[in-house]
Amino acid sequence: MPAGVKKVSVLGVPMDLGASKLGAAGGPDAIRRAELIPSLERLGLDVEDVGDIDVPERPAKPGSPKLRFKTPILKVCSDLCDEVYSIHKSGRLPVTLGGDHALAMGSVSGTAKYYAGKKQAIGLIWVDAHGDINTPETSPSGNIHGMPVAHLLGLGDRQLASIGGRGPKVKARNIVLVGIRDLDDNEKKNLRDSGVTVFTMKEVDRYGMAWVAQKAIEQAGDQTSGIHMSFDVDAADPSVAQGTGTPKRGGLTYRESHLIMEMVADSEMLAALDMVEINPLEDVHNQTAGLASELIQSALGKRIF
C-alpha cells in the first residue's frame, strides 16, 4: 500500500444478488471469523471495522432477465461507492469483503471518485477466473457479477455505469485481468475490443506469476497514483479455494495467489482492496475464508521474513 499508510478500514457487503448461487452473502462474516482483524492489527496497522453495507432482501422477482436484481444491486453499489469514498477521504485504506463481485462497481467507483477529485487516475488489477466484462446484451445468464468490468469501463447499463459519476472509472489501458481461464464466447470479443490487458492462466503457466504480477503492476501503475486490487477467490484453484460459487479447475496455486498480493504490497501502490465471492455454504471448515484472510494480510504487508 502507499508508503506511510498505516490505517485500514474493513467493510462488508453481504450480497449475493449478482450471483447464480446463494451463499456469498455470508462471505464477510466468514472472513472476519478467520481472525482477519486481529491478524491485521498484529501487522501494526490501525484497523477499523465499519460493519456492513445494508443489503435489501432478495426480491421475489429478479426484474429484467438481462439484468437480474439490478435495482437492489444499484442501491448497494451506490451506497458502497459513497462509503469507500468517505474512507479514502479520512486517510484510510478501504478493504471491502464480499459478497459477489458485482460489488466492485461500487468499491472501484468510490476509489476512482476520490482520486479524480485530486485530478489523479487509478489502475485496476482484477484477479479472477472470469473476465466479468459481459454486458446485458452479451451475458448468457443476466447475472450482474459477470458484468462489473464492463460497467467500470462505461459500457452496458447506463445507470450501473454511472455509479460515482459518468464515464469510465478506470482507463482501459490501466485495467489488468489476471488468472483468467473461463470466458463466454461473446465475452471474448468484448475483451478483445476493450483494450484491457489480459493474463490468462496460459501466461501464468508459461512465464510464472512473478513475471505476470510485475507486468500487471507496471501496466496498472503506469501514469496512475494508486492501484485498486479486486481479488475473486475463484481465481485460486478449487483445491485451495473450494468455498466459492463458480469454481473452475486449473487456477492459481496457494503460493501464486500469495505472490501477487506480496508483490502489490511491495510496490507501495495499493490504494484499495476487494476480496470477494467467498461462499461459506460451499466451504469446508471455513478454509476458503481463511485463505481470503491470509491473502488480505499479504496485500497489506505481511512478510515471510
Q: CATH code at 69?
A: 3.40.800.10
Q: Report how far residue 193's alpha carbon sits from residue 180's, in angstroms, rounded to the nearest whole number.
A: 17
What's this model's pTM, rounded to 2 decimal places?
Answer: 0.98
What was the pLDDT predicted at 3?
55
What was the pLDDT predicted at 30?
98
Give the residue-averaged pLDDT of 290-305: 96
pLDDT digits (tens, 9 = 90+) for 171-227: 999 999 999 999 999 999 999 999 999 999 999 999 999 999 999 999 999 999 999
Domain assignment present for 305 = no
What was the pLDDT predicted at 5?
64
Domain assignment present for 240 = yes
Helices 254-267 and 209-220, axial angle in degrees (round to 10): 40
Q: Report how far residue 156's alpha carbon sits from residue 149's, in angstroms, rounded to the nearest whole number.
A: 10
Return the percentage of the chain with pLDDT > 70, whole number.
98
| Composition of the chain by helix, strand, coil, percent to 5 | 45, 15, 40
For residue 2, is pLDDT > 80?
A: no
Domain assignment present for 42 = yes
For residue 4, is pLDDT > 60?
A: no
Q: Which of the residues are catalytic?
A: 101, 128, 130, 132, 145, 232, 234, 277
Distance of alpha carbon 43 from its chain centroid, rounded?
Answer: 22
What was the pLDDT predicted at 305?
87
Domain assignment present for 155 = yes
Domain assignment present for 204 = yes
243: three-class secondary structure by DSSP: coil
Report the domain count for the chain: 1
Domain assignment present for 1 = no
Q: Report how far residue 4's alpha carbon sits from residue 129's, in angstroms, rounded to the nearest whole number.
A: 32
79: three-class secondary structure by DSSP: helix
Domain that holds residue 278: 7-299
Within 10 angstroms of residue 245's Cβ, the number of other Cβ atoms is 23
Going by pLDDT thresholds of 50, 70 and 90, the confidence category of residue 100 is very high
β-sheet bridge partners, residue 90: none
Return the percentage of the chain with pLDDT > 90, whole number.
96
pLDDT digits (tens, 9 = 90+) for 11-52: 999 999 999 899 999 999 999 999 999 999 999 999 999 999
Cell 485530486 belongs to residue = 118
Domain assignment present for 2 = no
Domain assignment present for 162 = yes
Nearest CA-CA partner of 98 in 223, 278, 301:
278
Phi-psi region of 184 (alpha: psi -120 to 50; beta: other; left: phi over 0): beta
Give the residue-averaged pLDDT of 84-90: 98
